């Protein structure tokens, strides 16, 4: 079995594959203070929750944008599963051709998303990940990653309003019935949902114009479905995109399907 781990700034998403079938999926907080022993206990408990013996894990693939956790994750994979994890980093075969000024700057999560999206939907693509940051990745039908856009994430914007504006409350990120809010809460909710949806629609239009193509727009991340429901330009929501990409990258580098 293959364990895939996508470490983001706010959350870590884990998936367990048996062949091409996803048999387990979890989302946990990316706590940088966790030691290798703590992660060992956490992973063991997650696997036990679906009656999987850690010793049956024969491979592990990790994408991480939190370098502080990498050593602990490598420790866990070696001590819990007796495998060396495949870390998505320069030199790893991803199938993605990075056509940008500095390929080393491209986050491993964005590469995993691109690999997963290309395998499922083919190009040309715009891949939008609604995480701590909202990222747009432009990928051609020839698997060329041409660049993209980074904007503050929806939750990050909501947290900033609460922290920096003394009279504004924390709110649930859900679309209100009307764009014109009748109270403070619906004012904020409209800005966070309809505002971000219109930003997405506008950027997709601009990117498509520069691509001189009609790309398929694939969204992933925790808030993807909410924004897709009020926007117009997102074609597909796929919450498993990064996990699919990590499985493909592992198979591409090892030639095996655990």
What distance in Å separates the CA atoms of residue 6 and residue 134, rounded to the nearest whole number? 16
Are 242 and 13 in contact by the 8 Å Cβ rule? The answer is: yes
What distance in Å separates the CA atoms of residue 54 and residue 82, rounded to the nearest whole number? 9
How sure is the predictor about 258, in pLDDT bands with cuts at 50, 70 and 90?
A: low
Quick one: CA dihedral 63, 67, 73, 78, positive or negative?
Answer: positive
- CATH for 97-244, among 1.10.10.10, 3.60.20.10, 3.40.50.1000, 3.30.420.40? 3.30.420.40
Per-residue model confidence as pLDDT tens digits over 89-143: 988 999 999 999 999 899 999 999 999 999 999 889 999 999 999 999 999 999 9
Are 114 and 136 in contact by the 8 Å Cβ rule? The answer is: no
Per-residue model confidence as pLDDT tens digits over 157-167: 999 999 999 99
Tokens 């897709």 correspond to what residue? 228
Three-state DSSP at 2 gives: strand
How sure is the predictor about 33, in pLDDT bands with cuts at 50, 70 and 90?
A: confident
Please identify, in words, the CATH class of the domain defined by 2-87. Answer: alpha beta
Distances (CA, A) of 15 to 4, 22, 26, 69, 84: 5, 7, 7, 17, 17
Are 104 and 77 in contact by the 8 Å Cβ rule? The answer is: no
Q: Which residues are catalytic?
A: 109
In degrees and rounded to multiples of 5, residue 52 shows phi and psi of -110, 130
Angle at 103 between CA 242 and CA 111, to 5 degrees: 10
Q: Tokens at residue 133, please?
A: 């940051």
Q: How much is the pLDDT for 65?
A: 94
Pairing status of strand 133-139 against strand 144-152? antiparallel
Where in the chain are all domains bearing CATH 3.30.420.40? 2-87, 97-244
Tokens 């920096």 correspond to what residue? 164
Q: Tokens at residue 51, please?
A: 């009656």
How sure is the predictor about 257, in pLDDT bands with cuts at 50, 70 and 90?
A: low
What distance in Å separates the CA atoms of residue 11 and residue 142, rounded to the nearest whole number? 31
């Amino acid at each position: 079995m293959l364990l895939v781990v996508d470490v983001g700034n706010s959350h870590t998403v884990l998936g367990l594959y048996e062949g091409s079938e996803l048999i387990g999926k979890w989302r946990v907080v990316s706590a940088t203070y966790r030691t290798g022993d703590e992660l060992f206990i956490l992973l063991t408990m997650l696997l036990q929750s679906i009656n999987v013996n850690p010793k049956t894990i024969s491979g592990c693939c990790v994408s991480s944008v939190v370098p502080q956790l990498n050593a602990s994750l490598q420790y866990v994979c070696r001590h819990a599963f007796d495998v060396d994890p495949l870390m998505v980093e320069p030199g790893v075969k991803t199938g993605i051709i990075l056509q940008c000024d500095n390929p080393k700057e491209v986050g491993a999560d964005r590469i995993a998303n691109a690999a997963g999206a290309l395998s499922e939907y083919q190009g040309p693509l715009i891949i939008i990940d609604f995480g701590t940051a909202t990222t747009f990745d432009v990928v051609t039908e020839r698997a060329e990653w041409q660049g993209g856009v980074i904007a503050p994430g929806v939750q990050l914007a909501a947290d900033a309003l609460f922290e920096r504006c003394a009279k504004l409350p924390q709110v649930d990120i859900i679309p209100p019935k009307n764009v014109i809010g009748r109270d403070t809460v619906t004012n904020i909710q409209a800005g966070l949902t309809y505002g971000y949806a219109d930003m997405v629609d506008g950027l997709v239009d601009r990117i498509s114009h520069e691509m001189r193509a009609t790309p398929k727009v694939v969204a992933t991340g925790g808030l993807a479905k909410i924004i897709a429901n009020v926007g117009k330009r997102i074609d597909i929501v796929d919450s498993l995109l990064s996990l699919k990409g990590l499985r493909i990258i592992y198979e591409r580098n090892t030639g095996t399907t655990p």
